[in-house]
Amino acid sequence: MKGQAVRQVMKVVEAVNQITVTGMVLAAAPAGEYDRRIVLLTKERGKISAFARGARKPNSALVGVTSPFSFGEFTVYEGRTSYTLMSASISNYFQELRQDVEGAYYGFYFLELAGYYAREANDETELLRLLYQTFRALVNPKLPNRLIRCIYELRAVTVNGEGPQMFECVCCGDKEREMVFSVRRGGLVCRQCSGSVQDGRALHGSALYTLQYIVSSPIEKLYTFIVTDEVQAEVENVVTDYLAQYVGKQFKSLEILRVIAENENA
Ligand SMILES: [Zn+2]
């Protein structure tokens, strides 16, 4: 009788410590013989790592749901020091990326950048929304991957509070004068203040407008435009230099993307 009572209490405790979170699998790594450890970006708990018992057994219900890109609801048991995945209900596996090697590597890079920014117990609602919309864009054949990458990178930096000032001079706040863009100053600098700026570059109107749109539009409206090759090149230069200055981390998935891009251009 006593054993049964204890078991019942344990069940109650387990139920109390179970939570369902909305999120996306950022990474998965083998653990032990049959298990997996996954990293989730969640709305409710920020970035968490969870243990998925038996997730590498072929008939396990946790096989597919613990693959990177899976987005949905995850029920986890919250232990004292770690989470254990109990079950999941996936609303989007972004399966199209399984047949699209280049798209998949863009996807891995987007996950890696999100993982770099996300913190445990932090409110990452916006980053998760951005990531989800970015993956929807990635499986949309009408949108070029290079543009998606620029939009995602600049907006991810912005969500993290390090985005460039694109609407007024970072030195004096002027909005009217002609501006140059300075990576080192973190945004626009007006002609009057630009004397001491060494890396100022003039931007064409449409490139400026594109950058303004990326940092300020609602996340759901981000992937609703395409640009000419000239604008793409200009925006890409700004974003690449900006990330080199403010992120400054070498991402593994980015190395692979570089190789793919080089092969394309060869
Ligand atoms: Zn100024």
In this structure, the answer to whether residues 61 and 190 fall within a common structural domain is: no
Q: Which of 57, 72, 93 is the last residue of a domain?
A: 93
pLDDT band at 238 (very low <50, low <70, confident <90, very high): very high
In this structure, the answer to whether residues 233 and 126 fall within a common structural domain is: yes
- Taking ligand 1, which is a single-atom ion, which protein residues have CB atoms under 5 Å away? 169, 171-172, 174, 190, 193
In this structure, the answer to whether residues 48 and 67 fall within a common structural domain is: yes
Q: What is the per-residue pLDDT across 105-124, written as a single tens digit (0 to 9) for each? A: 999 999 999 999 999 988 99
| Contacts with 259 (C-beta within 8 Å, 6 or more apart), sequence order | none
Instruction: Decide if pLDDT at 44 tops 60.
Output: yes
In this structure, the answer to whether residues 58 and 129 fall within a common structural domain is: no
Give the distance (Å) from ligand 1 centre to CA of residue 174.
Answer: 5
What's the pTM? 0.92
Give the distance (Å) from ligand 1 centre to CA of residue 246.
Answer: 22
Instruction: Decide if pLDDT at 1 tops 60.
Output: no
In this structure, the answer to whether residues 214 and 163 fall within a common structural domain is: yes
Calculate what percentage of the chain has a pLDDT beyond 90. Answer: 82
Instruction: Decide if pLDDT at 86 tops 60.
Output: yes
pLDDT band at 262 (very low <50, low <70, confident <90, very high): confident
**What is the C-alpha to C-alpha distance for residues 66 and 11, in angstroms, rounded to an integer?**
25
Instruction: Decide if pLDDT at 2 tops 90.
Output: no
pLDDT band at 80 (very low <50, low <70, confident <90, very high): confident
Distances (CA, A) of 27 to 18, 63, 98, 107, 143: 22, 13, 16, 11, 25
Q: Which of 76, 93, 110 is the last residue of a domain?
A: 93
- pLDDT, average across residues 240-253: 91
Give the distance (Å) from ligand 1 centre to CA of residue 192.
Answer: 6
Q: What is the per-residue pLDDT across 125-161, written as a single tens digit (0 to 9) for each? A: 999 999 999 999 999 999 999 999 999 999 999 999 9
In this structure, the answer to whether residues 135 and 12 fall within a common structural domain is: no
Q: Which of 61, 93, 125 is the last residue of a domain?
A: 93
Which stretch of 12-21, 140-149, 161-170 has the lowest confidence by average pLDDT? 12-21
Note down the domain range covering 256: 96-265
In this structure, the answer to whether residues 81 and 192 fall within a common structural domain is: no
Give the distance (Å) from ligand 1 centre to CA of residue 266.
Answer: 44
In this structure, the answer to whether residues 49 and 165 fall within a common structural domain is: no
Q: What integer best gives the mean pLDDT of the chain? A: 93
Give the distance (Å) from ligand 1 centre to CA of residue 180.
Answer: 10
pLDDT band at 12 (very low <50, low <70, confident <90, very high): low
Instruction: Decide if pLDDT at 193 tops 70.
Output: yes
Give the distance (Å) from ligand 1 centre to CA of residue 198.
Answer: 15
In this structure, the answer to whether residues 178 and 117 fall within a common structural domain is: yes
Residue 146 sits in a domain of what CATH number? 1.20.1440.120
In this structure, the answer to whether residues 51 and 135 fall within a common structural domain is: no
In this structure, the answer to whether residues 56 and 112 fall within a common structural domain is: no
Instruction: Decide if pLDDT at 257 tops 90.
Output: no
Instruction: Decide if pLDDT at 198 tops 70.
Output: yes
Give the distance (Å) from ligand 1 centre to CA of residue 222.
Answer: 29
What's the confidence (pLDDT) of residue 7? 74
Give the distance (Å) from ligand 1 centre to CA of residue 193.
Answer: 4
β-strand partners of 201: 181
Q: Are 135 and 71 in contact (CB under 8 A)?
A: yes
Q: Is the dihedral of CA 82, 250, 114, 108 positive or negative?
A: negative
What's the confidence (pLDDT) of residue 15? 67
In this structure, the answer to whether residues 158 and 79 fall within a common structural domain is: no
Residue 59 sits in a domain of what CATH number? 2.40.50.140
Based on the structure, what is the number of domains in the chain?
A: 2
Give the distance (Å) from ligand 1 centre to CA of residue 46.
Answer: 38
Q: Regarding predicted confidence, which is higher, 265 or 65?
A: 65
Give the distance (Å) from ligand 1 centre to CA of residue 207.
Answer: 20
What's the confidence (pLDDT) of residue 58? 86
- State the Cα torsion 171-173-179-183 to the nearest 10°: 50
